[in-house]
C-alpha cells in the first residue's frame, strides 16, 4: 500500500513519531518531519517494516528532501519522573520545537498527544504505515536512537545494546540479572519478571 503524502492538505504538515517506548534502557526518542507538499517515496514506510540497512539508506534521503526535521531524546531519569507516555509526548513536542520551519498542522502516530501551542493536530493509529511524514519521523527517531544505543554499548558491552537496543530480550534480561541495572536503565520499568526480582 502506498503511503499518503498528507492528511490536512496544508503545505506545512509535520509528522511526528517516537522510538524506544518499550525499552528497558536508553532514551525514548522522537522526531518531527515536514516533507514537501506532494512528496513521493515508494520505499519509505513504518521503520518497523524496514531493515536496518534500508533505514540507514533512507535517513540521508529524508534529511536532504525535508523542508525541516529534528529529533530529541528524553533520558531514563526524566522517564522515571514523568512516566513513559508523558516522556514520549514531551520528546515529540521538543522535536517539533526544534524545527527550523513552524508547522501549520501536526499528524501524530498513535492515539495519545497533548496540544502543541495552538497548532491543530490529529492522532492516527498506525500512522507510520499510512502517511509519509510520520514514516519519515519513525525512521529518524529509530536511527538516531539506535546510534545512541550503539555509543553507550561501548561503555556497558555486557548488555549487548548494540544488538538489542535496550529492548527486553531474554539476553538483555539475563544480563540485568547478572550485572544489575546501570544509569541507563529505566528504574520505573519492570526490569525483570517477578520470579527474577532485582534489588535496586
- Domain residues for the domain of 20 are 13-153
Q: What is the pLDDT of residue 197?
A: 53
Q: How far apart are CA 147 and CA 112, in angstroms?
A: 26
Please tell me the pTM assigned to this model.
Answer: 0.94
Place of cell 509535520: 14
**pLDDT over 70, % of the chain:** 96
Give yes or no: residues 114 and 22 share one domain. Answer: yes
C-alpha grid cell for residue 142? 529509530
Q: What is the pLDDT of residue 195?
A: 47
Answer whether 144's CB lies under 8 Å from 27's CB: no
Q: Is the pLDDT of residue 196 over 60?
A: no
C-alpha grid cell for residue 53? 540497512
Among 105, 3, 113, residue whose Cα is nearest residue 58: 3
Give yes or no: residues 97 and 178 share one domain. Answer: no
C-alpha grid cell for residue 169? 530480550
Q: How far apart are CA 102 and CA 85, in angstroms?
A: 24
Give yes or no: residues 173 and 83 share one domain. Answer: no
Give yes or no: residues 122 and 55 share one domain. Answer: yes
Q: In the chain, which ranges are continuous DSSP H helix?
A: 52-65, 76-82, 84-97, 132-155, 161-164, 170-179
Write out pLDDT tens, residues 32-88.
999 999 999 999 998 999 999 999 999 999 999 999 999 999 999 999 999 999 999
Give yes or no: residues 112 and 65 share one domain. Answer: yes
Say how many domains are in the chain.
2
C-alpha grid cell for residue 41? 517515496
Write out pLDDT tens, residues 98-114.
999 999 999 999 999 99
Answer whether 39's CB lies under 8 Å from 69's CB: no
Give yes or no: residues 37 and 62 share one domain. Answer: yes
Asked if the structure places residue 3 within a domain, the reply is: no
Q: What is the pLDDT of residue 199?
A: 54
Write out pLDDT tens, residues 175-192.
999 999 999 999 999 888
Q: CATH code at 87?
A: 3.30.420.10
Give yes or no: residues 77 and 166 share one domain. Answer: no
Give yes or no: residues 112 and 179 share one domain. Answer: no
Asked if the structure places residue 44 within a domain, the reply is: yes
Q: How far apart are CA 188 and CA 153, in angstroms?
A: 21
Q: Is the pLDDT of residue 194 over 80?
A: no
Amino acid at each position: 500500500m502506498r503511503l499518503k503524502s498528507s492528511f490536512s492538505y496544508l503545505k506545512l504538515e509535520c509528522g511526528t513519531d517516537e522510538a524506544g517506548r518499550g525499552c528497558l534502557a536508553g532514551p525514548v526518542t522522537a522526531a518531527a518531519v515536514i516533507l514537501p507538499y506532494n512528496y513521493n517515496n515508494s520505499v519509505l514506510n513504518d521503520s518497523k517494516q524496514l531493515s536496518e540497512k534500508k533505514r540507514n539508506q533512507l535517513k540521508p534521503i529524508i534529511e536532504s528532501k525535508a523542508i525541516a526535521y529534528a529529533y530529541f531524546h528524553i533520558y531514563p531519569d526524566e522517564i522515571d519522573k514523568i512516566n513513559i507516555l508523558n516522556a514520549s509526548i514531551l520528546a515529540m513536542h521538543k522535536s517539533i520545537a526544534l524545527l527550523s520551519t513552524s508547522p501549520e498542522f501536526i499528524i501524530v502516530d498513535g492515539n495519545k498527544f497533548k496540544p502543541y501551542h495552538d497548532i491543530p493536530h490529529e492522532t492516527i493509529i498506525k500512522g507510520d504505515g499510512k502517511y509519509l511524514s510520520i514514516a519519515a519521523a519513525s525512521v529518524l527517531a529509530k536511527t538516531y536512537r539506535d546510534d545512541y544505543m550503539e555509543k553507550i554499548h561501548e561503555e556497558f558491552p555486557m548488555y549487548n545494546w548494540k544488538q538489542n537496543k535496550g529492548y527486553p530480550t531474554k539476553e538483555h534480561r539475563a544480563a540485568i540479572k547478572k550485572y544489575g541495572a546501570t544509569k541507563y536503565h529505566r528504574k520505573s520499568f519492570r526490569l525483570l519478571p517477578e520470579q527474577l526480582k532485582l534489588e535496586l
